[in-house]
Amino acid sequence: MDTLLRPWYPEDAPIILAASAEKMMDRQFTSQIDSLAAAEEWIALLTSRQIDDSAYSFAVLHEGVPVGNVAVSSVERRHLTGWVSYWMREEARGKGLATRACRELSEFAFSELGLFRLELAHRMDNPASCRVATGAGFAVEGVERSRLLYDGARFDTETHARLATD
């Protein structure tokens, strides 16, 4: 099987810029990605977070080309927890890549980082993300009411978790 995850490289900036322009993808980035320079800064930020052990992000590959991102962030060493997130470009959705990437990221987080509990959440109106989470072994734990705020509207989220012992 081909390699699924790899670090993001500075030369991936055009891919990040294109991804950020897709519908609703602006919500996936911590800052606005509106230029190659901004995309390069985002990649540099990922590298710095890995160096300080707060987050680990990987490009999800399809046929050797980055088509998505998977990350464990908010790494907390006292309780050995982390927060999982993922996104896929439009052309890569529905192929099982996000589910496989979340599984692989989880194994990395448990075996390489020594984490015990991974958490994630998705909007209740995003059944595809729910399928990714459950397919990657994340059990449903509950609903957080009005957790997210986008464009003046509040959204409930469903929280999932996976333990190293699952």
pLDDT digits (tens, 9 = 90+) for 56-106: 999 999 999 999 999 999 999 999 999 999 999 999 999 999 999 999 999
Report the run of H or E that residue 110 belongs to, with start and end.
helix 97-111
Q: How many CB atoms lie within 10 A of CB 157?
A: 20
DSSP 1-40: ----EE---GGGHHHHHHHHTSTTGGGGSSS---SHHHHH
Q: Mean pLDDT score of the chain, rounded to an integer?
A: 95
| pLDDT of 1 over the 70 cut | no
What pLDDT, in 10s, does the model give residues 102-121?
999 999 999 999 999 999 99
User: Which tokens hold the place of 116?
Assistant: 């015990």
pTM to 2 decimal places = 0.93
pLDDT score recorded for residue 2: 66
Is the model's pLDDT at 25 over the cut of 90? no
Give every CB contact of residue 116 below 8 A, 6+ residues apart in sequence: 79, 80, 81, 110, 163, 164, 165
User: Is pLDDT at 26 greater than 80 in this prediction?
Assistant: no
- How confident is the model over 28-65, as pLDDT tens digits? 887 889 999 999 999 999 999 999 999 999 999 999 99
Taking Cα atoms as reference points, which of 54, 52, 51, 83 lies closest to residue 70? Answer: 83
Give me the domains of the chain, ranges plus CATH numbers: 5-163 (3.40.630.30)
Q: What is the pLDDT of residue 143?
A: 97
Sign for the pseudo-dihedral over CA of 163, 8, 36, 126: negative
